[in-house]
Structure 1
């Protein structure tokens, strides 16, 4: 019990920045990315990244097919589906979901938010914004020698949250989102490096 209390108490000071910027360089975490202008003053900002040893064009098909009833989210499907999100992570590129356009909707379950495609720069940037405008999720691909940096940035606004809800979001939802996003980024990496 004491260890858990110490972990909770130390999270804001010792672990929060690591949780919010897992895998990202300091430069990536501070960079202006496509979609940042869609939600200027978020209450939560995370920038997480991974190196994928393949060119951006091999990663892009996995990004554009994401969504409920589509290619899934490449994370822990069983957790997603506890919330009724109908996520089934594809192990192959699905041709029927490759023709994405600005304004298209990527669903997050039947009752979840609808993510609208706001920025679509092939092989470089895919930015989604929730229909209520409180969540912007950007995927950015930067080619580097020998591969690509895959950067995921979440900008979330919770303007009407009570202090208790803000506390819950910080101590439970932030670390929980890291667990899911780590799995997603690793899942995309594995698929893009393996799939021909």
Structure 2
């Protein structure tokens, strides 16, 4: 049994390190052109150790996506993902099912909290219905959202840039085996949550969810 466990663990490492699998979980939903694109905010962390590009198509115009996007955050509209997981880390995430007027006015320079102990996320680029880019106050993480109109709907691209690890081999392995695939689970849920809300959005009334 112990031998099987060791073999299984080594197999998991091999799969996680295989280039095709890693490309898939870092670039879920994105086209090759989107993965290769230079996007606003990329220059804020040009030597990122990790870069992910994930995307989703939303059957609703950018004007209906933007209000849900701009209100995201800890103590705000949440992240539209698994709140219970986020809140295990004290992030105070409560995903909203309605547009919250009090959180619709982001501007460059605003800083949003990331839980009680994490570095704040500073707004670096804010172009309504087009681009929203945050950078952590410790300058180790840049997260950008990019909207483009497509056939009456929206193509939403999420780009993450994270500074390279300066940690031990064990921590680098943990990042590769746990954090990178785990980020796909959370971000995929977030993108699909955004899509569901934007597609249900009607300007004259609260969205209705099945």
Once the two structures are superposed, the pairs formed by residues 175-194 of structure 1 within 5 Å of their partners are: 175-194=181-200
Corresponding residue of 1:152:
158
Unaligned stretches of 5+ residues in structure 1? none
Shift of 1:8: 2.4
Q: Tell me, yes or no, if the aligned pair for 1:47 and 1:152 is still in contact at 8 Å.
A: yes
Corresponding residue of 2:45:
39
Aligned match for 1:140, one of 142, 146, 154:
146
Shift of 1:106: 1.7
Shift of 1:5: 3.5
Shift of 1:9: 1.3
**Runs of 4+ more than 3 Å apart:** 1-5
Paired with 1:42 and 1:98, the residues of 2 have a C-alpha distance of 30
Paired with 2:74 and 2:52, the residues of 1 have a C-alpha distance of 22
Corresponding residue of 1:9:
14
Q: TM-score when scaled to structure 2? A: 0.90
Paired with 2:31 and 2:148, the residues of 1 have a C-alpha distance of 13
The higher radius of gyration belongs to 2
Corresponding residue of 2:25:
19
Shift of 1:35: 0.2
Aligned match for 1:89, one of 87, 95, 98:
95
Paired with 2:127 and 2:171, the residues of 1 have a C-alpha distance of 36
Q: TM-score when scaled to structure 1? A: 0.97
Paired with 2:13 and 2:59, the residues of 1 have a C-alpha distance of 36
Instruction: Calculate the aligned-residue CA RMSD, in Å.
Output: 1.1
Corresponding residue of 1:112:
118
When structure 1 is superposed on structure 2, of 157-166 and 69-78 the one drifting more is: 157-166
Shift of 1:103: 0.5
Paired with 1:191 and 1:148, the residues of 2 have a C-alpha distance of 13
- Label 1:173 to 1:159 Cα distance change in 2 as closer, same or farther (>3 A): closer
Q: Tell me, yes or no, if the aligned pair for 1:68 and 1:87 is still in contact at 8 Å.
A: yes
Paired with 2:49 and 2:168, the residues of 1 have a C-alpha distance of 13
Shift of 1:160: 1.9
| Paired residue total | 196
Corresponding residue of 2:83:
77
